[in-house]
Amino acid sequence: MLEKFNRFLDDEQQLIFQMAEIFVNSAEKSISINYLQKELGISRHQVLTVFDSLEFIIETGDMTNVNTMYNGQGLLTVQGLNTGYLKLILKTMAIKSVRLNILLNMYLGIYGSTTQFLTQFGISRATYYRNIRRIHHIISEYFIGKRRRNEAEIR
C-alpha cells in the first residue's frame, strides 16, 4: 500500500521515505553513506541532505523514541524507527506534497480552482502542469501498465 502512495510524493520526499524504509527494514541501525548512495542512486551530499530532512521530520513530528546521529565518519544511525513512525512520516510528507495536492485538486477539486491552488501553494502555472504530466505518467506506467499483466504478477 505504501509503495503505491509513495509514487505521488515529490521527488525529494520519495528519497526521504526510501531512506526511512531502509532504516526500518535493516537489522543494523547504523548504515554507511556509501551503502545509501548505492541504494538510493544519489551523491554523498544528497544522502546527507536527505538524512537532515529525515531528522527534521522526526524532530518536528514528536517522534520522541527515535534517535538519529551522524558520526562524521560515514555512518548514519537511526534507532527506534518502526512502521508506525514510517506511516507518520508518510502522512506528514503527503500533507506537504505539491504533486499529491495537485492530484487532489485536479481530480477532486480540493483547494478550489487552479488559480486558487497556485496562490495557496505558491507555485507557478508551469510547475502545476509539469506535475500534471508527471502524475499522468505515474498513473499510466504503474496502474494502467499493471492491467496488461496477468493476475498472478499483480498479486
State how far the Cα of 105 lies from the Cα of 82, in Å rounded to an integer: 32
What are 63-83's pLDDT values in tens digits?
889 999 999 899 999 999 999
pLDDT value, residue 142 = 73
Residue 4 CA: distances (Å) to CA of 8, 14, 21, 25: 8, 11, 14, 18
Instruction: State pLDDT tens for residues 41-52.
Output: 999 999 999 999
Fold of 2-94: Arc Repressor Mutant, subunit A (1.10.10)
Low-confidence ranges of the chain (pLDDT < 70): 1-5, 143-155
Task: Give the residue extent of every domain in the chain.
Answer: 2-94, 97-154
